[in-house]
Amino acid sequence: MIIGSISENQNFEKRISLTPEIISKYIKLGFEVQIEKNYGSHLGFKEVSFTHAGAKILNNDEEVIKNSDVIIQLDLPNEKKFSLIKNSAILIGSFNSLQNKDVIGKLSSKGVNVFSLDLLPRITRAQSMDILSSQANLAGYKAVLEAFSFFEKAIPMMMTAAGTIPAAKVLIVGAGVAGLQAVATAKRMGAIVFATDVRMASKEQVESLGGKFLTVEGAENLETEGGYAKEASDEFKKKQEELLAETLKKIDIVICTALIPGKKAPVIIKDNMINNMQSGSVIYDLAAIQGGNTAYTEVDKVVDKNGVKIMGERNILNKLPVSSSNLYAKNLFNFVSNLYDNENKKININLEDEIIKNTLVK
């Protein structure tokens, strides 16, 4: 079987789905690997590193698509290329399946099996395939660095003969994978770190990393069976707003990470809260692409409100494309390995497997 991958639209996505290290693993599994010319060159990967790993380099993306039995990507290919995909092919990636259901339906109607790893169940066996966790880890880390680069004061406490510089106070909104990595990164850099989340299970995790967990009085545990956050009640939102409003008056840097799968991001930091923050404070909003967690977030812009800088990018992982590609490629390989029947050397779409059943988009 042939497994292939083409370059993404690099205006929006610099990551790749196949790295030389992973290509050799696919070949050991029994696949032939095909990619187009200059695949990965923008990340510093030379074509010789792909060919040494065993990949075949084709002239263009159309040839790769036509030949491939399994196509692995980050985003959906351009719709103009749908006609080139084999009717029996398998397409695997992270396709934002809830928003792109109609587009994916066009592929499914011609017999293409589309697997979207944003639907992966959060079970132990699926951890090595969990693209949301691997990518969110890097996003949380990078968001802290980006926010710190805009903050015009020192982060750690510094005691000098001329006087003492106090440590920066950082608030992490949302203590999922990205948020916990943000807590750990900010703490390592010497900040005083606070975090808040609707899931009470996050409290112990935040405190284990050295952060202080802000708890709403009488908080309910708003966590789904799959481990994601669910929408809060109006009463909870009111209590959370009161707590945040007071806390934000003393905070220097905020990292927002709160997302609800398939829905617009909740607006947690309102305009009146931002107006009461100290001038010079910074907010980095990782939820920008889904509407943002603040009242003023704009994608790929730095908004200044009364001296408070608010920013959020379409794809922060474009600033860590090599590391994020390495992890993403490993996640995909582990998913394909689970699909592959090694004994019969073919793909087996076993719908009794929870991982396969949940990620197959119909």
Per-residue pLDDT of 289-302, as tens digits, reads 999 999 999 999 99
**The pLDDT of residue 221:** 56
pLDDT category of residue 191 using cuts at 50, 70 and 90: very high
Signed CA dihedral, 16, 17, 22, 23: sign only: negative
Residues with active-site annotation: 122, 127, 130, 133, 228
What is the spatial distance between Cα 114 and Cα 93, in angstroms, rounded to a whole number?
Answer: 8
DSSP state of 122: -
**The pLDDT of residue 259:** 86
The third-level CATH classification (topology) of the domain covering 136-318 is Rossmann fold (3.40.50)
In the numeric block, which tokens belong to residue 123? 């079970």
Q: Is 32 helix (H, G, I), strand (E, B) or coil?
A: strand
| % pLDDT > 70, the chain | 96
**The pLDDT of residue 271:** 94
Please state the CATH superfamily assignment of the domain spanning residues 2-119+321-361 in this structure. NAD(P)-binding Rossmann-like Domain (3.40.50.720)
**The pLDDT of residue 229:** 56
**The pLDDT of residue 262:** 72
Q: Is the pLDDT of residue 148 over 60?
A: yes
For CATH 3.40.50.720, the residue range(s) in the chain are 2-119+321-361, 136-318
**The pLDDT of residue 137:** 97
pLDDT category of residue 240 using cuts at 50, 70 and 90: confident
Owner of token pair 């927002």? 256
Helix residue spans in 9-70 (DSSP H): 20-29, 47-53, 61-67
| % pLDDT > 90, the chain | 85
Signed CA dihedral, 333, 338, 340, 344: sign only: positive
> Which residues, in sequence order, are CB contacts of 317 under 8 Å at separation 6+?
14, 15, 135, 138, 139, 142, 324
CA distances from 102 to 96, 106, 107, 177 (A): 11, 7, 9, 30
